[in-house]
Homo-oligomer: A and B are copies of this chain.
Amino acid sequence: MINLENIIERLREIMEDEDDSQEQLREELNGYHVADLADIFQELKSEERLKCFKLLDVEKAADLMEYLPPQIQVELLSDIDEEMASKILTRLPHDAAADVLGDMEEDESETYLDRLPHKFSEEVRELLTYNEDTAGGIMNPVVLTVTSDMSVQDVLNHIRIKAEQDNMELYYVYVTDKQNHLLGVVSLRKLLTSPINQKVEDIMISDIVRLHVDDYSDYIIDEFMKYQYNALPVVDLYNRLKGMITWDDVHDLFEEETTEEIYQSSGISTEMVDEDEILSGSIVNALRARTPWLFITLLGEFVAVNVANHFDHTLNALPIIAIFMPLLAGLGGNIGTQSITLMVRGLSTGQVTLSSAVHHIVREAFIGMLIGGFFGILVTLVTWGWQHNIELGIVVGIAMIINMTMATIIGTFTPFALKSLNVDPAVASGPVIATTIDVIGLAVYFSLVSIFLVKVM
């Protein structure tokens, strides 16, 4: 655990000190792990960041790049001189270089691409042609391949030359034929524990889990989660090996996916606006992401207003009943949200399946009835003691039981219904259901009041 504030204070002191602070700063900066440096850089001001970045040697600067968020990557590369920038770019893995260049304006990235070594820039250009949310846009195209007739010793020699020279990530060795078709895979572990004169074809696994260049990120995450490999190969339509995706790429995807799931559950739409532009991008993006479901809530609540208006004679006869409306709506909404959350999350992790829908609906209804019953009795007693009106207390209490039970049923049923229609249950569930519960809850409450109270009084 590092203490960021202290470190930054010390760095600033060194920077302010005029005499030979350069050397001291360089030494200080080189002492940190690049992941820690990335945290430090994010806290520094723009000009401090640049000053520090220029003092790093190229190797460390390239390493650091991979840990920084896109906007800082682009900012730093644009501010240093072009030669240094090109050097750093060529030292990045291809996928990381493509990510940085993809985040720049097109004419700017073209300038860099023209200055980079031809082979490197060609490969990066190809990566940039893929949709950035697909395996093609995420993969690293530099993969160590061997042929099936090589011996373990041949492979080890091959690694010794290739892996060093191409700055290559190394988890598995992929076996291909002359046309680059993917035939099998050998893990480093298998390689290191097999006799050195054994042939690759005898130790390779040929039933390989593979990704296709056009697979989308949610599918990629599912495959990694399911098979728990450190890397998966990416092939094209004809099973030609195009690259590989590693765990650390998936970690970023996974964090994005989780953010989207959490956003959607509270009615923030990630369909039209990229999820990382909602919190800090332009206000227009924030409005586009947030208004749609609020607007649907508005329409739903107009229905609720209409339902209430339908009972205006009841309200006129006994205005006091209005004061219990927030109590009923609030608790119905809360317990309904709990049910939705449990089902949506369960469906997403696989802990809940469509075939268990009935079981869950019954279980949730039972829980709603228990909690609703307990709260209903409490509310009845409190209302009785406070308003000295036992009939009113009983009606509010019964409305509470019905409301909470109904909320759990709707909250459980809807995600299953959406899922069986192949609609992502995370989208929309929250706000729509809360409004539905409001509408039905009001109708139930006012009906009870007009049947039992307004008549008898």
Q: Is A178 an interface residue (CB 8 A)?
A: no
Q: Is A451 an interface residue (CB 8 A)?
A: no
Binding-face segment, A103-111, A235-243, A303-311: A303-311
CA distance A284 to B291 in the complex (A): 39
**Contact (Cβ within 8 A) A322 B324:** no
Neighbour of A367 across the interface among B287, B340, B370, B378, CB < 8 A: B287
**Contact (Cβ within 8 A) A325 B322:** yes
**Contact (Cβ within 8 A) B351 A280:** yes
Q: Is A382 an interface residue (CB 8 A)?
A: yes
**Contact (Cβ within 8 A) B283 A308:** no
CA distance A353 to B69 in the complex (A): 15
**Contact (Cβ within 8 A) B294 A335:** yes
**Contact (Cβ within 8 A) B329 A326:** yes
- In this complex, what residue of B is CB-closest to A39? B226
**Contact (Cβ within 8 A) B370 A287:** yes
CA distance A189 to B165 in the complex (A): 12
Contacts of A335 in B (CB 8 A): 290, 294
**Interface residue total, chain A, C-beta cutoff 8 A:** 101
Contacts of A340 in B (CB 8 A): 266
Neighbour of A327 across the interface among B302, B327, B337, CB < 8 A: B302
Neighbour of A351 across the interface among B35, B276, B320, B322, CB < 8 A: B276
- In this complex, what residue of B is CB-closest to A360? B279
Contacts of A435 in B (CB 8 A): 330
Q: Is A278 an interface residue (CB 8 A)?
A: yes
Q: Is A95 an interface residue (CB 8 A)?
A: no
Given known pairs A258-B258, A335-B294, the reply for A438 and B326 (CB within 8 Å) is yes
Q: Is A265 an interface residue (CB 8 A)?
A: yes
Q: Is A216 an interface residue (CB 8 A)?
A: no
Contacts of A35 in B (CB 8 A): 226-228
Q: Is A120 an interface residue (CB 8 A)?
A: no
> CB-defined interface of A267-292 with B at 8 Å, one 1/0 digit per residue?
11000000010111001001100110
Binding-face segment, A10-18, A79-87, A133-141, A341-349: A341-349
Contacts of A76 in B (CB 8 A): none
Binding-face segment, A51-59, A123-131, A156-164, A417-425: A156-164
CA distance A345 to B330 in the complex (A): 24
CA distance A93 to B247 in the complex (A): 21
Q: What residues make up the interface of A, taking CB atoms closer than 8 Å to B? A: 33, 35, 39, 43, 67, 156, 159-160, 163-164, 170-171, 188-189, 192-193, 207, 209, 225-228, 230, 247-248, 251, 254-255, 258-259, 261-263, 265-268, 276, 278-280, 283, 286-287, 290-291, 293-294, 297-298, 300-302, 304-305, 308-309, 312, 315-316, 319-320, 322-327, 329-331, 333-335, 337-338, 340-342, 345-346, 349, 351-353, 363, 366-367, 370-371, 374-375, 378-379, 382, 430-431, 434-435, 438, 442
Not counting A225-B251, A300-B330, A301-B330, a sample of 9 additional A-B residue pairs whose C-beta atoms are within 8 angstroms of each other reads A279-B346, A283-B363, A287-B370, A294-B335, A294-B371, A301-B326, A302-B327, A305-B324, A312-B323
Q: Enumerate the 10 nearest inter-chain pairs by beta-carbon distance, A residue then B residue, closest first.
A: A322-B322, A308-B323, A266-B341, A301-B327, A164-B193, A319-B319, A170-B189, A315-B319, A304-B326, A228-B248
